[in-house]
A and B are shown apart, each in its own frame.
Chain A
Amino acid sequence: MKTFALFSLSLACFGGMVGATPLSTEQTEFFEKQVRPVLVDRCYECHSAEKKTKGGLALDTREATLKGGDNGPVLIAGDPEKSLLIEAVRYANHDMQMPPKKRLADAEIKALEEWVKMGAPDPREAAPIAKTAKTIDIEEGRKFWSFQPLKDAAPPNVPPLASPIDAFMGAKLKEKGLTTAAPAEKRTLLRRATFDLIGLPPTPQEMDDFLADTASDAFDRVIERLLASPQYGERWGRHWLDVARYADSNGMDENIAFGNAWRYRDYVVRAFNEDKPFDQFIIEQIAGDLLPSSEEAITATGFLALGARVLAEPDVQKLEMDIIDEQIDTIGKAFMGMTLGCARCHDHKFDPITQEDYYALGAIFRSTRSLAAEKMGAIKFWYEHSLATPEQVAEKKKFDEELKAKKAEVTKFVGQARSAVKAEVQKRAADYLAAAALVPAGATLVEVNPVAKANAVDADIVLTCRKYLDQHTDHPLFAVWRELAQKKDADAVRQHYEPVFAEALTAKKGPAYDALVDAKGFLALPPKDADVLDAGTLAKIAAMNKKVEDFTAKQPDLPAIMTVADASIVKTLPVHLRGSYLTLGKPVERGFPEVMRTSFTKPILPAKHSGRLELARWIASSEHPLTARVIVNRVWRWHFGQGLVSSTDNFGILGAKPSHPELLDWLARTFIESGWSIKDLHRLIMKSATYQQASSGRFSTGDKADPRLVDPENRLLWRANIQRLEAEQIRDAMLVVSGWLDPKIGGKTIPLRNREFVFNHTSKDATTYESPRRALYLPIIRNHLYDMIEQFDYPDPTMPTGSRNSTVIAPQALIMMNAPVVTESGARLAARLADFPSDEQRVQQAYALLYARPPSDCESSDALALLHDFSATERPERAWALLCQTLFAANEFIYLR
């Protein structure tokens, strides 16, 4: 900022003078001969009104040249040393070298320097061609649907007892001459609802109960039962973890374990189970650390800490801005469906978000601390809030001291072993010199080996010795050696030096002694222990090191929470031109994106805090045009497989338009009225006929309006979407029906210490996925996801995802046919079925568990025939296991109707 002010001031002093003074002939001539050609040939391509004005700079008119670019004025008339233009052409500044592709000739640089020194006389009179930059009109931007306040639309004529949702949906269907499909069969509905709410299939018992319950509110009670199940939070918390780009490792340049991320994961599960009001949920995730002290809320703010970052970034200022960028981008997408990150380098290309808006948010996060003080070599660590008690801290200190002592013991042992070798080598110094005389200068180890062997000395040391002697050709002590080495007279070398060194070792002083003990001298030991010590000693050292490692592994991490905290408060942050902190523009005060502002005045933020809490409250307010719309749309998407706005994470100009705008606003309003209750929203949606309809629509060939042609994408929901189960549902369903699933909730599950490398440069990932816990608890290793969930469209955990893909690719089939988790589930299910007395009953039970229905006679006999086929080559248990695995691999298991 200081430099910016300085340049402005200088311009004020000199600027007027240059333009006003009439030029002398010499000056004009100098400009035309020496300066203009350089500017035209080498600068105009990127800096002229007619072509480009990179960095906001044009050099093709006097006015524009004096005005400068985004970095401020480029020349200080009379002072080349302070002129950016000169600095740039001199290639003195690594970050600003112009022209970027090829340096100007020295004579050209000199001409420009001379010109600036003269006061930059410039005869060019033409006015700059006005080129109006595209500016963002905030008022115009506000007219876009998603920035408009929520409308108060009443549902069109709702029949008694019907859901208002059906009224909204029905009205649209009617416009196209379509209707909702018939209600789904009870079996289909229960399977759909159970997978939907808890991510697991209904048990045969639950199915029987539901079929037997003929009361009109039977399904309502199913919804309540499922919402009350602790497994509800595990399923719906997982949806939110997609949005929160949750992972257990960093995953960018270095992959390091987030040993405490699980606390945030468990917080999310609890929040959904407790039906924490969603506005509160938002506030805690953005600013939980600023709420009245609560461990729960601090854990929630882990949301800001979970991102993927380049932790070994050596440019700390860049790293800090990159972290802020990740936080702003995530908050934008997760809560507001806005791609705010696009405005880091320039105004948003499509949405009415200016670069000032971005840096207003940037200032809030610049006042937030995301990095810890500790680091490991080049790797910076994320900030953590310690939960350790004084006892734990004391214990850790004691442990660290013990560890230090153990390490010192190893160091001491190694030191002693090396000293012993060194003493031995010193005694035989003359032998080494003799051997060194027998090998040529610049010898390689291959050449040295036979000589060393013949003389019973160490080859590595001979090599070092020879190198030393080659490099120190004026060392007086070795003058004799140099002479004798020419003749390769080893015996003479030995004869001469033996008494010299013997004497030195007794006297313990003198130049020969100094040479003997010099750690970098002619008898320097190779740095690697393996090249110095014998096998027995090396084995001893390895064993000692192993003990230290084992001891280290025993140490538990001190309990801590991944989160952020307020840092020293920055009230303004300059716009970073082109996103770089090296080119700063005008300072911006902390604030919120203008286009979404609902208050008359700009927000007034506290001087002593970052303003994150105010930001969080603003996002979570009922007036915010986006927040409620975005979450109700996501919940809709997670129920139906498609959002009312299909681009769940982009409500901007490039996003999709809502298929039912009135319904969306009505849902958002109702959601806010219910106290931001997600569970109430489930009730509202699942009790509608729209949710409960069959996946096969009502139509016949003669229909005027064949829905398959009128609405092929089923945007109007004339039938239920057939949905493929998500990765976790498939895996958990296999485990639960085979009796393998461990229903334990929460806790640390990543088998790594906090901040431990997931894998080093060998790419060996020791992470295993054999845990029988729900898939939610399997480690999420960025850069190396568990293939079972990855192939079934688990989202990229580096960015928020509100809508997973549902692809059909061959590796999915390979997994269902060959992956151990599937074959093992098959074997376990077979063992479970063995309790039933007859083969027919076993098949019945398998169909009930997997497909929530009994098999038809035809299916039953088909399955038994397959079993019979298998039995020709396989043992009975194995034949059953194969049948069970086959049933898992069928479409019916992984699709919901």
Chain B
Amino acid sequence: MNPQPIQPITRRTMLQRSAAGFGYLALQAMLGREQTQAAVVNPMAPKPPHFPARAKRIVFLFMKGGPSHVDTFDPKPLLQRDDGKPYPFKQPRVQFAETGKLLKSPWSFQQYGQSGLPVSELFPHVAQHVDDLCILRSVHGTNPAHGGACLKLHTGSDTQVRPSMGSWLLYGLGTENENLPGFLTICPTLAHGGVNNWGAAFLPAFCQGTPLGNASIAADKAIVRHIRNEQTSSAVQRKQLDFLARANREHLQTALRNGSARDGQLRTAVPHGAAVPRTRCALRASHAQRWRGAVGPARRTFQRPHEERN
């Protein structure tokens, strides 16, 4: 085989090819739509929020197995004082592991910025930006096990399969970007609830988070699956797609045989319409990286090499 470098494909090209080549996959959907004459409403179209929003976008970093609040942003003077003493209150009803004596944080805290928010010595650099942070200390959990706690945090329930926070946001607010998934999750963990942590549950399927890679690979290696073909050059794929466009057009005609003059209209409508409905997942890796680039330098991984199993 003649090794040819894979040409970088722009998103525009990708969409065009989807239109010419694979948009015809939408055969069934198109047939149904033409017949219902129904206006197609994009369920992900932006919807006005109930209250005016100041935030433009949300980047939610969730670090399973991160350090405790007591060691980072939430100093506990009484805990410091009573280190080594028994619990001053009733033992929790449900215990994950045997509860021992009180244990103080081994890290010292210092106040920073104009706000004077205390930050532990673990985060000397974050501490420099403390006036830009809003630290919420009033959150509490009810499930001490990793899996249950992860599910509860993301979905509000550790009992039943429920939509995740991102799914609700997408459902309620929509997305301004028509061609990318409205809810992306980069290198999520598959353990501790996995898909259920970014799942749509009973909300419509489009609210489901789209994962890019998973925690077993570095974030900068995460791409949309099957976006590349290592064996076939894009020139050859171009030929495949052209052939498919013809074959699919003929198949469509056969499927509509016995119909009326309106079939002609339908056929001409297809190439235009076919591009629109389902390109949303055709996200290119480079684009995803650019997207991340806007957030900050992509770290290889947020995970520690060894996490304890609970």
Contact = CB atoms under 8 A, between A and B. Distances in A.
Given A378-B310, A722-B255, A784-B190, A882 B240 contact: yes
A870 interface: yes
B267 interface: no
A456 to B, nearest CB: 30
A862 B216 CA distance: 45
A787 B194 CA distance: 15
Contacts of A706: 260
A722 B148 contact: no
Given A95-B93, A761-B191, A314 B143 contact: yes
Contact of B310 (A377, A812, A897): A377
Interface in A251-269: 251-255
Q: Which 4 A-B pairs have the closest CB atoms?
A: A253-B147, A783-B194, A813-B22, A763-B215
B196 interface: yes
Contact of A784 (B194, B251, B260): B194
B7 interface: no
Interface in A174-195: 182
B225 interface: yes
Contacts of A809: 278, 280-281
Contacts of A891: 24-25, 27, 247-248, 251-252
Contact of A253 (B24, B193, B246, B259): B193
A889 B94 contact: no
B32 to A, nearest CB: 7
A823 B240 contact: no
A748 interface: no
Contacts of A72: none
Contacts of B225: 787, 811, 814
Contacts of A806: 28
A483 interface: no
A862 B243 contact: yes
A278 to B, nearest CB: 28
A251 B310 contact: no
B31 interface: yes
A882 B93 CA distance: 63
A810 B274 CA distance: 11
A808 B278 contact: yes
A886 B244 contact: yes
Nearest to B213: A763
A359 B161 CA distance: 21
Interface stretch (A54-62, A458-466, A665-673, A695-703): A695-703
22 contacts: A94-B90, A253-B146, A255-B194, A310-B159, A313-B143, A341-B160, A378-B310, A696-B257, A696-B258, A722-B27, A723-B28, A761-B307, A763-B191, A783-B190, A783-B196, A808-B27, A810-B280, A814-B225, A873-B1, A873-B4, A873-B236, A890-B247
Interface in B220-263: 224-229, 231-233, 235-237, 239-240, 243-244, 246-248, 250-252, 254-262
B35 A312 contact: no
A764 B227 contact: no
Interface string A730-774: 000000000000000000000000000001111111000000000
Contact of A762 (B146, B196, B215, B226): B215
Contacts of B8: none
Nearest to A885: B240
B189 A763 contact: yes
Contacts of B307: 761
Given A310-B148, A712-B36, A811-B225, A798 B161 contact: yes
Contacts of B26: 808
Given A378-B310, A875-B1, A765 B24 contact: no
A817 B237 contact: yes
B65 to A, nearest CB: 8
Contacts of B280: 809-810
A390 B222 CA distance: 51
A859 B250 CA distance: 10
Contacts of A760: 191, 309
Contacts of A782: 194-195
Interface string B166-194: 00000000000000000000000111111
Contacts of B146: 253, 312
B117 interface: no
A10 interface: no
Contacts of B77: none
A699 B196 CA distance: 47
Nearest to A827: B231
A812 B281 CA distance: 10
B96 interface: yes
B2 interface: yes
Given A314-B143, A760-B309, A891-B25, A813 B18 contact: yes
A8 interface: no
B279 interface: yes
A312 B282 contact: no
B144 interface: yes
A722 B29 CA distance: 10
Contacts of A41: none
B262 A701 contact: yes
B226 A819 contact: yes
Contacts of A708: 34-35
A782 B228 CA distance: 26
Interface in B81-112: 90, 92-97
A713 B95 contact: no
A222 interface: no
B74 interface: no
Interface in B114-164: 143-148, 150-151, 158-161
Contact of A763 (B2, B21, B190): B190
Interface string A797-833: 0110000011111111111111100010000000000
Nearest to A182: B258
Given A313-B148, A696-B256, A874-B1, A862 B246 contact: yes
Given A695-B255, A708-B35, A378 B24 contact: no
Interface in B15-70: 18, 21-22, 24-29, 31-32, 34-37, 65
B145 A823 contact: no
A724 interface: yes
B72 interface: no
A839 to B, nearest CB: 16
A810 B278 contact: yes
Nearest to A312: B145
B78 interface: no
A551 interface: no
Interface string B293-310: 000000000010001011
Nearest to B210: A811
Interface string A370-383: 00000001100000
Contact of B226 (A94, A310, A818, A889): A818
Contacts of A518: none
B257 A761 contact: no
Given A782-B195, A891-B248, 4 more contacts: A722-B255, A763-B214, A817-B22, A869-B239
A322 interface: yes
A808 B25 contact: yes
A895 interface: yes
Nearest to B159: A322
A807 B29 CA distance: 8
Given A94-B93, A696-B258, A889-B240, A712 B35 contact: yes
B277 interface: yes
A401 interface: no
Contact of A810 (B1, B28, B191, B281): B281
A171 interface: no
A312 B147 contact: yes
A656 to B, nearest CB: 16
Contacts of A310: 145, 147-148, 151, 158-159
Contacts of A882: 232, 236, 240
B32 A713 contact: yes
B94 A886 contact: no
Nearest to A188: B254
